[in-house]
Amino acid sequence: MNNWITKVNLSPLSSKNMPPAPQLTHDIDLNLNIALGEQYKSETQKARVISEAWTEKNAFCFLCGGALLRGQNNARVLDFTCMKCKNGFELKSTRGNFSSKLPDGAFSSMMNRLTDKSSPDFFFLTYDVKSSCVTNFFAVPTYFIDSTIVEKRKPLGHNARRAGWVGCNIIMKRIPEAGKVFYVRNREIQERSKVIETWGRTTFLRGETSLEARGWALEIIRIIESLNVPEFTLQRIYGFEAQLKQKFPRNNFIRAKIRQQLQVLRDAGFIEFVGRGHYASIFYGSVQRGR
Instruction: Give residues in contact with Zn ion (CB under 5 A).
Output: 61, 63-64, 66, 82, 84-85, 87
Least distance to Zn ion from the beta carbon of 86, Å?
A: 7
Closer of 87 and 169 to Zn ion (Cβ): 87
Nearest distance in Å: CB 88, Zn ion: 10
Chain centroid to Cα 107, Å, comes to 19
The crossing angle, in degrees rounded to 10, of helices 283-290 and 211-227 is 70
Whose Cβ is closer to Zn ion: residue 5's or residue 83's? 83
Closer to Zn ion by Cβ: residue 89 or 124: 89
> 187 Cβ partners below 8 Å, 6+ apart?
4, 30, 133, 134, 135
How many angstroms separate the CA atoms of 232 and 239, rounded? 12
Q: Which residues of 4-42 are buried (b: 16+ CB within 10 A; e: fewer)?
A: beeebeeeeeeeeeeeeeeeeeeebebebeeebbeeeee
**Closest to Zn ion by CB, 137 or 216:** 137
| Alpha carbon 289 to its chain's center | 15
Q: Report in angstroms how near the CB of residue 230 gets to Zn ion at its nearest.
A: 33
What whole-number distance in Å separates Cα of residue 251 and Cα of residue 249?
Answer: 6
Residue 112 Cβ, how far from Zn ion at the closest point, in Å? 23
At position 174, the amino acid (one-letter code) is R
What minimum distance in Å lies between the beta carbon of 286 and Zn ion? 23
- Tell me whether residue 205 or residue 220 sits nearer to Zn ion (CB atom): 205
